[in-house]
Structure 1
Amino acid sequence: MRDGQAVVPGMAPVSVWRDLLVLCKWRVVAVMLVCVLVGMLLAVPLPPLDTVVLGLMGIGLSAAGAAAINHVVDRKLDARMGRTARRPLASGRLSTPLALGWALSLCVVGVGVLAIAVNDLTAWLTLASLVGYALVYTVFLKRATPQNIVIGGVAGAAPPLLGWTAVTGTMAPEPLLLVLIIFAWTPPHFWALAIYKRDEYAEAGIPMLPVTHGLDFARLQVWLYGWLTVAATLLPFVIGMSGWWYLCCILLLNIRFMHWNLRVWRGRDEQVPLQAFWFSIRYLLGVFLALLSDHYLSLVLTLWA
């Protein structure tokens, strides 16, 4: 859409394609695909290259489609918030029918690739995650309860499970533990941002925890859920899924993670919640990198022995 007019069908200009890619939240999808890849590599030492490529493609397209649906559903809400007002739909640069068609096409192609070229289990789980995020969370939970992030976090925690099932075709306790780690990590990660952006959420009428229960309570929840995340990240070592290298790495990561959560809890600096939010993304990537490096280190030591 330009100056309130819908984009004319036909060859789209570069700016339109750029806006369509923005709808996909490709940075978020990229982080998610790293978690998918870790799930694949933890499932089998050397997964088939075609399964890896097609699995990442199908899951990535589905996630991009779900993100685009999120833009469509939240377009009016985004227009009321400073950090989202410049998004393609909120600012009127794209028409809603074009964005919705783009989103549904991505979802159909993504799930189709998984069903045809990977396996049915991964296709169904991906579809369930897509529906959980794009519809259940975005349409209902986000506007209904301050526990929206906790309840809706299940859908966002699925990537390592999807990676595991993509190369094995089966469920197992190990990928469910990886899901638990992301599930526990999501509240302190997002509530830190919600604390920083609380005024915008309040103005938009979104019942985020800092808005409904106050800053002190929200900061405390970041601190407590941080410890829950620490406990979840120790479980791979406890059950023998990972070894001493992982334990050393995760202890260092958790010390830094809880340092930021402690600063959020104390509430002495308005910028700290945003800094904690960005660090938590690096933290999660560090957790999965530690799992992956420990996995291959143990394989090398086993072959060497």
Structure 2
Amino acid sequence: MAKSVSITARTARHHQSVSWRDYYEMTKPNVVMLLLLTALVGMCLATPTWVSAVTLICGLAGIGMLSASAAVINHVVDHRIDSMMARTFNRPVAKGKVSVTSALWFAAALGVIGFVVLAAFVNMLTAWLTLASLVGYAFIYTMYLKRATPQNIVIGGIAGAAPPLLGWTAVTGEIHAHALLLVLIIFTWTPPHFWALAIHREKDYAKAKVPMLPVTHGVSFTKTSVLLYTVLLGIVCFMPYLTGMSDLIYLIGSSVLNAGFLYYAVKLKYAADEQTAMKTFRFSIIHLMVLFVVLLLDHYIPISL
């Protein structure tokens, strides 16, 4: 009885100490900002002129809110797993600072407002596609795929790869092959990006009984998979130039970035130390961020051979 009272009191203290920072943390702001960068590039590449202010502001706001909603749902669904892992045990829901009910209401509010903004000020295609991405990440990936197969991040990666397409449809109201090529780049980038982190946190995933690739197939196999996907990523990243979607600035920039990613992937496979996997993970974030900035520069400063 005393133990029960103690747990209740501790939970009450956690809830009383909740702040806006806890809600902000649940939205995974760093991840959402990277997604919005790719959505912005999708918008800009969709038109030879400038994107209208209404489309730009409302499009990014709506996509951002629905992405944040998906992140909050991920915190709720994974709070038991998060509480068992060193990287995530201090997350607001896992720690008990924000209740599951409060987090779900917050996610619902973000999702509804984001959808309404896109539907009212952008277009219905973008609204529905963004909602589909939320369902894909928050429910299909987080609730099912993550716990069902070591290929979870490969299959579920399509949801996280959607923002450039969402940005494109926000401007044009239609799906274009060039937008799908941007999606393919992120889709191919996701496995080596996430598996590098999974290698670094392999023991955590094993403890939480999450069937990530290093847990089910071993670290050596996962390192090989990272290397092969990195090679594939280099080929896919060459396609915007081959299709005439981009010019010389992108060709040079993407080649340098892909060479850097390949260096880390080779080192991870053949000469890794304790920090190589995490360094590879961190470089992959820089790779994607700079790659899309280079796409943007190339679009506004076209230089041909």
Classify the TM-score, shorter chain. over 0.9
Of the candidates 187, 207, 212, which is equivalent to residue 208 of structure 1? 212
Higher mean alpha-carbon deviation, 48-57 vs 243-252, is at: 243-252
Asked whether the 8 Å contact 2:193–2:280 carries over to 1, the reply is yes
Could you say which residue in structure 2 is the equivalent of 1:39?
A: 42
2:287, 2:145 → 1: CA distance?
26
Structure 1 residue 5: Cα displacement: 2.1
SS of 2:10's equivalent in the other structure is coil
Structure 1 residue 189: Cα displacement: 0.2
**1:24 matches 2:27:** yes
1:105, 1:251 → 2: CA distance?
42
SS of 1:240's equivalent in the other structure is coil
Higher mean alpha-carbon deviation, 25-34 vs 261-270, is at: 261-270
Aligned pairs for 1:273-292 (under 5 A) are: 273-292=277-296
- Percent of pairs identical after alignment? 51
Q: 1:257 to 1:164 in 2, by over 3 A?
A: same
Asked whether the 8 Å contact 1:122–1:165 carries over to 2, the reply is yes
1:268, 1:256 → 2: CA distance?
15
2:29, 2:292 → 1: CA distance?
19
Structure 1 residue 160: Cα displacement: 0.4
Q: Give the gaps of 5 or more residues in structure 2.
A: 1-7
Structure 1 residue 296: Cα displacement: 0.5
Structure 1 residue 172: Cα displacement: 0.4
1:162, 1:263 → 2: CA distance?
35
Q: 1:2 to 1:124 in 2, by over 3 A?
A: farther
2:176, 2:50 → 1: CA distance?
18
Asked whether the 8 Å contact 2:54–2:121 carries over to 1, the reply is no
SS of 2:72's equivalent in the other structure is helix
Could you say which residue in structure 2 is the equivalent of 1:235?
A: 239
Of the candidates 54, 71, 78, which is equivalent to residue 67 of structure 1? 71
**1:112 matches 2:119:** no
Aligned pair count reads 296
SS of 2:92's equivalent in the other structure is coil
> When the two structures are superposed, what TM-score results if normalisation uses the length of structure 1?
0.94
Higher mean alpha-carbon deviation, 237-246 vs 185-194, is at: 237-246
Q: Give the gaps of 5 or more residues in structure 1.
A: none
SS of 1:143's equivalent in the other structure is helix
Could you say which residue in structure 2 is the equivalent of 1:253?
A: 257
1:203-244, CA deviations, whole angstroms, 9 ceiling, x for partnerless residues? Answer: 000000000000110000000000111011000000000112
2:184, 2:9 → 1: CA distance?
44
Asked whether the 8 Å contact 2:150–2:211 carries over to 1, the reply is yes
Aligned pairs for 1:114-129 (under 5 A) are: 114-129=118-133
Asked whether the 8 Å contact 1:26–1:64 carries over to 2, the reply is yes
Shift >6 Å, 4+ stretches: none
